[in-house]
Structure 1
Amino acid sequence: MAFQRWAFGNGRLPVVARTAGRGDRFGPAFTLPRLLARAGLSLLLSGVFAWLLADRMARIDLAALAAAVRALHLWQWLLALGFTGLSFWAVGQYDGVIHRHFATGLPPRVARRAGIAAIAVSQTLGLGLISGAILRWRMLPGLSLWQATRLTAAVALSFLAGWAVVTSATLLVLPGAPFRPLAGLALAVLLGLALLSCLGPRWPGLPVRWPNGFVLSRLVGLCAIDTLAAALAFHLLLPVGADLALTVLLPAFLLAFGAGLTLGTPGGMGAFEVTLLALLPVQPQPDLLVAILAWRMVYYVLPALVGAALAVAGPGPASPPPAGYLPHAPQRAETGLRHQGTLALAAIGEQSWLLGRSGHCLFAVFDPEPHRRPETIDAALLALGALAASESRLPAVYKASARTAARARALGFAPRRIGREAWLDPASAALSAPARSGLRRKLRRAAAAGVTVRQMSSETAPWRNMDDIAARWARDHGGERGFSVGRHARGYLCRQRLYVAWQAGHPIAYASFHAASREWTLDLMRHGADLPDGTMHSLVQAAIEDARQLGIARVSLAAVPEAAFGPGGRLGRILAALCPDLAATGLLRFKSAFAPHWSPRYLIAAHPAGLPLTALSLWRAITRPPPLAREIEQDHADYGFATAPGPWHIAERTD
């Protein structure tokens, strides 16, 4: 078995280019009726605002207006151009943040260039969703038109939300600003939604994950830079001596700017002017019209020409995504969790690692393989941090060994012990050992109750009975867990070793094991009510006996939370409070019956301050997993870049 890999450190990651059943066809936003409706509405609104301006413009001497524009000083034009450049720098950074959130894998330079070109041209042409989507499609190699549309819609909607935050805060802070009560209400609603982002909610029917707090804070900050720079450019282009303070102009400008964006007319034409003139009724109109005309030249016409030139030039020569193979097949049996679709196998240099995402964190699960030398562990941890930063997430490692935790501490990470893994060597795990006397009693009770255990293949397994057993178990235990915990699914279990317990000819319980060349790991244990004592012990012992006969060097019974061993540290108490079943004293008693070895396992956070957020993200990922795919390990590209598991996902294929 060979594994396709993506390399870190070269600044490029592949992009998922297919979407569910759409290929490269036009998305819903590009249907002809919608296109005509949006174009017609834009023309209608432009006509309405032109009519509203006609009366005022009729009293303006256009020759005098043009002369006043020419009379502006050179320093005014240069400073206005500087602030325009700052505004479009923020626009490019804004697109880069959206790309990191969606994990498109495109280089930041390409994302920023496309964002600047798309905004510069589409804000002048109007119909921003359509024109912006076409330009991004042109400028972003590997994205389908439908994906470019979704990306453009995300940019537009998030920018409007950021504009609402910035404008509401401005109206509340500046004295004499209009609409203060409405601004307070809008800001409270938006801050409430931002607070929800810390929990990373999944909205039914919404195909994308809610942006996390890091993404939202960056977007709002960039939106503030963009809009305030645009306002300063406008203020600088007022005729010298115009009596209009920036504190008076700013609220009206932001509201007018938003009106132009929302209505989608070309360049916000008409909507911007009418709103600005209405909100500044005491100002001399000729001065405002001079600034409006000059600002449109600096902020719309020149950027549109530059953006059009960038679009004509295109994205430049495309670089193919890095290709290659993982140098080592995974040795740890639990990497079989990737077959559920929540976690994915990745290559980091010469190592492989199991990765998964939550709203705020990028989790690496277990240790990188192989991890023989300290320098290779250090390289893997640093690469994890770089990849997490590229996705606006915190890096974290779950169930790391003591060796990896020590290297992480040396690099400034914050490791905390969260559990202990139970494991044994089947060759030396003699059932006759005194330490296993309790296990022998359990096995005798199960045998006396008529319980037998059979190892089943995917063809002979009693799937219907196992489905019923798993459903009853889930109802009795408050649902199944996820992320790093296996869930019942036929396609998933077909890849494991299955052991089924029978009584009176009927299946009553089953256990499954991840199987690698030299290691097996206990995964699912499912049973119904009124189970004969010792049934689950019999299932595990049957697997241990088989492993001994097949020469398997290590059988892991998986980890037990640290809370089961006693009070533990602060993190253990926090996790136990969040999820009471983490105090798994019953699980500890069950696994202790096999007299295993115990190895500590750690949660590694980026820094001590990020440890609570990392623990909360982990708890939510385990206790509230997304629904399993209809078919385990189907092609993730079918979901498009917004829901793909990440550009580091490795698709297995045989040579």
Structure 2
Amino acid sequence: MVRAVRPRLYRRLVLTGGIGVLFLGLLAQRLQSVDADRVVAAMAGLGALPLVLACLATGFSFRAVAGYDQAWHRHLRTAIAPARARRAGFAAIAIGQTVGLGVISGALVRWRMLPELGLLAATQLSVLVAASFLVAWAIVTSLVFWVVPGAPLAGLAPWGLAVAVLGLGAGLAFAGSAMPNLFTLGRLLALAAADCLAAGLALWLLVPGELPLAAFLPAFLLALGAGLVSGSPAGLGAFEIALLALLPDQPEAGLLGAVVAWRVIAYAVPALAGAGLALHSAARRPVPAGAAVPLPEIAEAGLLAQGDLFAHRDGFVAGRTAHGLVALSAVADPRRHRSAARAEGRWPVLYKVGGRGAVAARRAGMRVLPVAREAWLDPVTFRTDIPACAELRRKLRRAQAAGVNARIEPDPDWPALAQVNAAWVAARGREHGFAMGRFDPAYLASQRIVVARQGAAVTGFASFHVARIGGRQVWTLDLLRPDPQAPEGTGQQMIVAALTAARADGVRKLSLAAVPIGARGEERGPVARLGRALAGDAMRGLDQFKAGFAPRWQRLYIAAPSYPALLAVGAEIWLRVFRPPGLRGTGDPARPTAEYQIAYGRNPWQREEDTVA
């Protein structure tokens, strides 16, 4: 691998050096007609006020520069403290833009200042920062050309935007799973605009005469791009050649004197400061993070096994969408949830919280909407000989007449269950994800498994999370998988078998999980109408199935800082549920090897089974 990288690196060094020499030669040829004494005189004639203002503008520019790294660290969740990310970003860019080969030199500086990243991650971060800045520069430059009257090459602005958008798409594809969300993209674009405009203002303040800023800025941005593309140290040569060509009416001596002074302010001084930070970083030690907050006692904690969800260090079960840090349980401290979401560039969202959680969210200023209803049963008091269970009794009689029996099996026939699951998926299209479990023997091994059989043949299975909440055991339905060819009533028979086993264990609370708002036809309102449109016939059948047990229904809610946030993150959750990424595979719970445990030490959970018709 090293041998493959070195030739590319050497070619890049030769190409960059060749371009730099070419532009320096062109600049030297151009300078032959310029009186050096007049350039020195122009520098000596700079007043104190322009120099001070240029320094302030440069400081503002580098404040934005430091934000590039912070934005990427935040999005990539590197656990690097924001202040350390800003310092490393400032030093890497200040040194890299001055010595040239910014990606390589910047990676080395980041690696020194953030050794826990490693060289590979530091290099990847350098590439992301450089690529995102180039795309943002192209967008900013095109917009400036579009809005500034009389700007040179203004007709090319739409093409520049098109190229920038294509570059953005390529950058997103390169980022892969690290694809930034709209918050991060907007932040990077705003930082690039602030950086470029402040850097241009710093140079403009030093240019003598009455050159309008509107005439100077487009030329500066193009010259800056030429310097960036050249890869030469500080863009030397390419920047000056482009700037002189784009401002032909400006006296060359005064313009070059301003450029030399600007390079001292915007390149030499920051590079020295960055070098000092990099040298000083060897004596610094990263501050260890505080202790993680324990998870609350909730059934959902049993769902941290398939990778979609995780246990947040602030004490809640969480999932991430592009724009939301979603807590799938009540949060003990809403402020910590908001801070954690803000630190990732996401909205704080509560999903499937009960009535108390919804009230607390409203008091905290969040917007709240109903999203689902959860069905609860008491196994000890559950009876089928009541009028509300008439349909349930009919289904059970049909299953019994067909010879279906169901019971808890501590060591089920996993291959047979896999066949049933495959038939179920083939009949219904796909398993759901995010807050809903998917078939995986390693994941299901810690649950109670009810298996339905017709004779010796497996005709279905159901799984239940078992959690101890408030000192009491609670069962929560996860997967319900009747074989599509199973006799009528097989699903109901498995639930009754689970209720019987739970009653024997003294369990007083068993959840049949949730159904979306709107699955029941008589529900009204815009949320219910949307739920009906999205739920489809399968969820309506699921609602009827659960209603047959005459459960106690509990309404669940989604909460976000605003209604647009509710709409955006709600749509992302829906996509994660109904279009989940593939699992990494299924496993055999009889083989608890270290490799096997790593492969399945992931994070999901759920609150509703994704089955039944």
Are residues 1:355 and 2:318 paired?
A: yes
- Which amino acid counterpart does residue 253 of structure 2 have in structure 1? P
Are residues 1:42 and 2:16 paired?
A: yes
CA distance in 2, matches of 1:539, 1:141: 55
* Aligned-partner SS, 2:519: helix
> Which of 284, 307, 322 is 1:317 aligned to?
284
- Which amino acid counterpart does residue 390 of structure 1 have in structure 2? A
* Aligned-partner SS, 2:46: coil
Q: 1:325 to 1:217 in 2, by over 3 A?
A: closer
Aligned to 2:98: 124
Counterparts of residues 70-469 of structure 1 (less than 5 Å): 70-188=44-162, 190=164, 207-239=176-208, 241=209, 243-314=210-281, 317-322=284-289, 324=291, 326-327=293-294, 330-348=296-314, 352-368=315-331, 377=332, 380-457=333-410, 460-469=411-420
Deviates more, 1:149-158 or 1:604-613: 604-613
* Aligned-partner SS, 1:415: strand
> Which of 468, 477, 482 is 1:527 aligned to?
482
CA distance in 2, matches of 1:564, 1:403: 23
CA distance in 1, matches of 2:603, 2:21: 46
TM superposition shift of 1:41: 1.7
Aligned to 2:568: 613
CA contact (8 A) 1:29 1:149 kept: no
CA distance in 1, matches of 2:142, 2:5: 35
> Which of 441, 450, 463 is 1:499 aligned to?
450
User: How big is each residue's C-alpha offset from its partner over 1:219-270, in whole Å with a ceiling of 9 and x where there is no partner?
Assistant: 111111100000011111112x2x4221111111111112222332211112
CA distance in 1, matches of 2:45, 2:550: 90
CA contact (8 A) 1:605 1:611 kept: yes
TM superposition shift of 1:36: 2.0
CA distance in 2, matches of 1:326, 1:599: 28
* Aligned-partner SS, 1:524: strand
- Which amino acid counterpart does residue 332 of structure 1 have in structure 2? I
CA distance in 2, matches of 1:65, 1:29: 47
- Which amino acid counterpart does residue 107 of structure 1 have in structure 2? A
CA contact (8 A) 2:135 2:167 kept: no
Aligned to 1:588: 543
* Aligned-partner SS, 2:158: helix
CA distance in 1, matches of 2:346, 2:264: 39
CA contact (8 A) 1:485 1:523 kept: yes
CA contact (8 A) 2:65 2:90 kept: yes
- Which amino acid counterpart does residue 355 of structure 1 have in structure 2? A
Q: 1:338 to 1:182 in 2, by over 3 A?
A: farther
Aligned to 1:63: 37
TM superposition shift of 1:316: 5.1
* Aligned-partner SS, 2:305: helix
CA distance in 2, matches of 1:435, 1:404: 30
Q: 1:320 to 1:302 in 2, by over 3 A?
A: closer
Give unmatched runs, 5+ long, in structure 1.
1-26, 369-376, 647-655
Deviates more, 1:583-592 or 1:387-396: 583-592
CA contact (8 A) 2:519 2:535 kept: no
* Aligned-partner SS, 1:559: strand
CA contact (8 A) 1:140 1:315 kept: no
TM superposition shift of 1:85: 0.3
Are residues 1:478 and 2:429 paired?
A: yes
CA contact (8 A) 1:499 1:512 kept: yes
CA distance in 1, matches of 2:335, 2:129: 30
- Which amino acid counterpart does residue 570 of structure 2 have in structure 1? A
CA contact (8 A) 1:501 1:510 kept: yes
CA distance in 2, matches of 1:472, 1:583: 16
Q: TM-score w.r.t. structure 2 length?
A: 0.90
CA contact (8 A) 1:480 1:487 kept: yes
CA contact (8 A) 2:107 2:123 kept: yes
Compute the RMSD of aligned alpha carbons. Answer: 2.9
User: How big is each residue's C-alpha offset from its partner over 1:528-563, in whole Å with a ceiling of 9 and x where there is no partner?
Assistant: 333311011111111111111112231110011110
- Which amino acid counterpart does residue 331 of structure 1 have in structure 2? E
Q: 1:230 to 1:202 in 2, by over 3 A?
A: closer
User: How big is each residue's C-alpha offset from its partner over 1:604-634, in whole Å with a ceiling of 9 and x where there is no partner?
Assistant: 1112342211211221221222222347899
Deviates more, 1:226-235 or 1:156-165: 156-165
Q: 1:208 to 1:29 in 2, by over 3 A?
A: farther
CA distance in 2, matches of 1:456, 1:186: 65
CA distance in 1, matches of 2:585, 2:417: 18
Deviates more, 1:461-470 or 1:558-567: 461-470
Are residues 1:599 and 2:554 paired?
A: yes
User: How big is each residue's C-alpha offset from its partner over 1:77-102, in whole Å with a ceiling of 9 and x where there is no partner?
Assistant: 11111100000011112221211111
CA contact (8 A) 1:209 1:359 kept: no
CA distance in 2, matches of 1:549, 1:129: 65
Are residues 1:572 and 2:528 paired?
A: yes
User: How big is each residue's C-alpha offset from its partner over 1:629-649, in whole Å with a ceiling of 9 and x where there is no partner?
Assistant: 34789999x99xxxx989xxx
CA distance in 2, matches of 1:308, 1:488: 54
Q: 1:186 to 1:582 in 2, by over 3 A?
A: farther
Aligned to 1:11: none
Q: TM-score w.r.t. structure 1 length?
A: 0.85
CA distance in 2, matches of 1:589, 1:234: 71
CA contact (8 A) 1:165 1:190 kept: yes
CA contact (8 A) 1:399 1:603 kept: yes
TM superposition shift of 1:59: 1.9
Give unmatched runs, 5+ long, in structure 2.
605-613
CA distance in 1, matches of 2:3, 2:580: 31
* Aligned-partner SS, 2:374: strand
Which structure: greater helix fraction? Answer: 2
Aligned length: 592
User: How big is each residue's C-alpha offset from its partner over 1:342-394, in whole Å with a ceiling of 9 and x where there is no partner?
Assistant: 1111243xxx31011100000000224xxxxxxxx4xx212111110111100
